[in-house]
Amino acid sequence: MDWSTGALGFMAGLLIAVVTAPVGVSGAVFLLPVQLSVLHVPSPAVTPTNLLYNVVAGPGALIRHHRSGALHGPLTRLLLIGTLPGVVVGAVIRVFAVPGPTVFRALVAALLLPLGIWLCARTLRPGRGRGDREPSARTLSALALLVGVVGGIYGIGGGSILGPLLVGRGMPVARVAPAALASTFATSLVGACTYALLALAANGDIAPEWFLGVACGLGGLIGGYLGARLQPRLPETALRLLLGALATTLGTLYAAQAL
């Protein structure tokens, strides 16, 4: 990896994080196609490289949320209980079973495309969905476990999936975003370490592209902090529409790649 590739990765991480951090998404799921198609990171090394991005970028938004007290609360703990063991399982599956990316893209598209459209539609209809019951603690941990497995396999922290699902159930973005970002950071840290250990026992491009992952992460570090500062200045309706638009865009992107 040369310096021009690193600079491109830095800018990609910065721009993506500024847009996604206000709604609790690290941006790794949007960075994944950039790494595959533009930066040409080999597979499966692209997965731990994406996780490395989350590790480096995560503190930017988390520091901001910590200062505001938004990280305190049971939601963060419940998500961590599920995602941390899930990412280890996902990493093992990715290295030894090597599921194809086409299946992942199709599943993400099938989940996020209708979810994003639905979230935008209900946000634009005042008075609808206010009676939604929040998921139970057991449901939250089980959902986080499943998202952790997916994150370990494909190198995403899970905020892009957890965010729309939880906000769609009526939880406020200001509560979901910090917890989702904290879960993404911890999950990515454990996942990156797991891949580093697995690289010692398996063949192939398993270890992350360290230079590129750090370069993208430094961009995300700055962008995440700026995005977290931007969040309190945006009304809840705007944040919900942004999250719905991101989910719809991501679902459309992955649907096109899966065809």
How does pLDDT run across 177-224, given as a tens digit for each residue?
899 999 889 888 888 888 778 777 766 666 778 899 999 999 999 999
User: Distances from the Cα of 9 to the Cαs of 31, 32, 156, 157, in angstroms?
Assistant: 9, 11, 16, 18
Confidence band for 57, pLDDT divided at 50, 70 and 90: very high
Read off the pLDDT of residues 147-169 as tens digits, 9 standing for 90 and up.
888 877 776 777 778 888 888 87
pLDDT at 257: 77
Expressed in angstroms, the distance from the first to the final Cα of the chain is: 30
Report which of 229, 184, 180, 230 is spatially closest to residue 24, judged by C-alpha positions: 180
Computed over every residue of the chain, the mean pLDDT equals 83
Cα 149 from Cα 155, distance rounded (Å): 10
Q: Does the structure show a pLDDT above 90 at 258?
A: no
pLDDT at 129: 47
pLDDT at 98: 58
- What's the domain range around 80? 3-258
Please give the share of the chain, as a percent, with pLDDT higher than 70: 92
Looking at per-residue pLDDT, the higher value among 76 and 91 belongs to 76
Cα 82 from Cα 94, distance rounded (Å): 18
With beta carbons less than 8 A apart as the criterion, state whether 119 and 179 touch.
no
Residue 253 makes CB contacts below 8 A (sequence gap 6+) with 33
Cα 116 from Cα 233, distance rounded (Å): 22
Read off the pLDDT of residues 71-88 as tens digits, 9 standing for 90 and up.
777 898 999 999 899 888
Which pair of structure tokens corresponds to residue 9? 């990765």
Domains: count for the chain: 1
pLDDT at 202: 67
Confidence band for 11, pLDDT divided at 50, 70 and 90: very high
Q: Does the structure show a pLDDT above 50 at 33?
A: yes
With beta carbons less than 8 A apart as the criterion, state whether 34 and 12 touch.
yes
Confidence band for 99, pLDDT divided at 50, 70 and 90: low
Q: Does the structure show a pLDDT above 90 at 43?
A: no
pLDDT at 132: 62
Q: Which of 16-20, 46-50, 72-76, 250-254 has the highest mean pLDDT?
A: 16-20
Q: Does the structure show a pLDDT above 50 at 253?
A: yes
Residue 23 makes CB contacts below 8 A (sequence gap 6+) with 163, 167, 173, 177, 231, 239, 242, 243, 246
